[in-house]
Structure 1
Amino acid sequence: MDKIKNYFDSLIAMEAEDWDIFSSMLTKAVFPKRSLILEMGKTERYLSFIEKGIVRFNIPKLDYDFTFGFAFENSFVSAYDSFLTQTASSYNLEAITDCVLWRISYDDLNIVYKTTQVGNFIGRKAIEDIFLKKMKREFTLLEDSAKTRYVNLMREQPELIKNIPLKYLASYIGIRPQSLSRIRKEIS
């Protein structure tokens, strides 16, 4: 739980009482590599902070598994559209590596909003984190070449990227694995 406390401490001075309320509602969840954190068609009940691991957002298809996002250590992860609306998710959240998550339920987060001075700040920072990643992804898909997207991903998450299978990276940057292999050969 230290990582999530440090994350918030770097952003705001949180009163001990507020931290106690928030942290008392967090639950630790461990997911082994390749397990589903949330299955498509199920409702997202949690907003999670990744203490350890990498999470992949994907839409399973019969012939091709489409990866449209990753979340890394020290960041929030959720099928946030499903979480907000409490309706079925249209995609999976999958642990690419062994993952340790600190989770707060939808109901408990609403209690934190109502009972703490920093509750709304906590929620806002979590959604800002998710929103900024989404906007960056959309922008890079519109503006950057596949090679640039790959180079940027390698620069931003060099150690963690090594744990992601190439087929997922290729899907994420919008190309086939064979094209990613060519890009990797050009760069090296």
Structure 2
Amino acid sequence: MIQIRTYLEQFVALSDHDWEIFSSKLIKTAHKKKTILLKIGKVERQLSFIEKGSVRLYIPKVENDLTFGFSFKGNFISAYDSFITQTPSTYQTETLTETTLWHLNYDDIQDIYSRTAIGNTIGRMIAENLFLMKSKREQSLLNDSAEQRYLNLFSERPDLIKQIPLRHLASYIGVTPQALSRIRRRIIS
């Protein structure tokens, strides 16, 4: 739980009282590799902090899933659009590795907003961080070549990229697994 407090205190100072309310709502869960956390068509009821592991966001397809996001240790994960609107999700979330999560459910977050001095600030900071990650990805898809998107991902998270199967990486940067293999060969040579 200390990881979460450390993460939040990057953005805002937490009083012990506010932390007590916030932390009292957290529920810890452990998940095996390839556990679907949220199925398409279900409403996201939780905002989760990854203590250990990695999660991908994707649209399931018959031949190749369309992976559009990853989240790793020390970050929040959610089908956030479904979470804030409380409407069915158009995509799924799945663990890529053994993963430990700390959850807050929707009603508990609303309670935190109303009972703490900094609840709304924390919510805004988490939302802004999720927005910035999404915006960065969209801009990369519009401005960068597939090779540059791979290099960016590799330079930003070299230790974590090793955990992601190549087919998910290929989908994430918008190419086939074969095209990713060619990109990787060009980079190595």
TM-score relative to the length of structure 1: 0.98
CA contact (8 A) 1:37 1:95 kept: yes
Please give the alpha-carbon distance, in whole angstroms, between the structure 2 residues aligned to 1:9 and 1:133.
19
Aligned residue in 1 for 2:32: 32
Please give the alpha-carbon distance, in whole angstroms, between the structure 2 residues aligned to 1:68 and 1:11.
26
Aligned residue in 1 for 2:58: 58
Please give the alpha-carbon distance, in whole angstroms, between the structure 2 residues aligned to 1:24 and 1:158.
35
Counterpart of 1:97 in 2: which secondary structure?
coil
Counterpart of 2:103 in 1: which secondary structure?
strand
* Amino acid across the alignment from 1:176: T
Please give the alpha-carbon distance, in whole angstroms, between the structure 2 residues aligned to 1:38 and 1:129.
21
Please give the alpha-carbon distance, in whole angstroms, between the structure 1 residues aligned to 2:98 and 2:133.
22
Aligned residue in 2 for 1:110: 110
Please give the alpha-carbon distance, in whole angstroms, between the structure 2 residues aligned to 1:125 and 1:52.
21
* Amino acid across the alignment from 1:156: E
Following TM superposition, by how much is the alpha carbon of 1:10 offset from its aligned partner in structure 2, in angstroms? 2.4
Aligned residue in 1 for 2:101: 101
Please give the alpha-carbon distance, in whole angstroms, between the structure 1 residues aligned to 2:177 and 2:96.
17
Q: Deviations over 1:151-181 (max 9, x none)?
A: 0101111111101000000000000000000
Counterpart of 2:147 in 1: which secondary structure?
helix
Aligned residue in 1 for 2:131: 131
* Amino acid across the alignment from 2:117: Q
For structure 1, the 5+ residue unaligned runs are none
CA contact (8 A) 1:31 1:98 kept: yes
CA contact (8 A) 1:18 1:117 kept: yes
Number of matched pairs: 188
Following TM superposition, by how much is the alpha carbon of 1:9 offset from its aligned partner in structure 2, in angstroms? 2.1
Following TM superposition, by how much is the alpha carbon of 1:149 offset from its aligned partner in structure 2, in angstroms? 0.3
Task: List 4+ stretches of structure 1 deviating above 3 A.
Answer: none
What CA RMSD, in Å, does the superposition of the two structures yield over aligned residues? 0.8
* Amino acid across the alignment from 1:26: L
Matches within 5 A, 1:127-166: 127-166=127-166
Matches within 5 A, 1:43-82: 43-82=43-82
CA contact (8 A) 2:12 2:122 kept: no
CA contact (8 A) 1:75 1:129 kept: no
Following TM superposition, by how much is the alpha carbon of 1:35 offset from its aligned partner in structure 2, in angstroms? 0.6
Counterpart of 2:14 in 1: which secondary structure?
coil
TM-score relative to the length of structure 2: 0.97
* Amino acid across the alignment from 2:43: T
Aligned-pair identity (%) = 53
Aligned residue in 1 for 2:182: 182
For structure 2, the 5+ residue unaligned runs are none
Following TM superposition, by how much is the alpha carbon of 1:8 offset from its aligned partner in structure 2, in angstroms? 1.4
Please give the alpha-carbon distance, in whole angstroms, between the structure 2 residues aligned to 1:69 and 1:11.
23
Q: Deviations over 1:37-91 (max 9, x none)?
A: 1111111000111111111001111122110111111111100111011111111
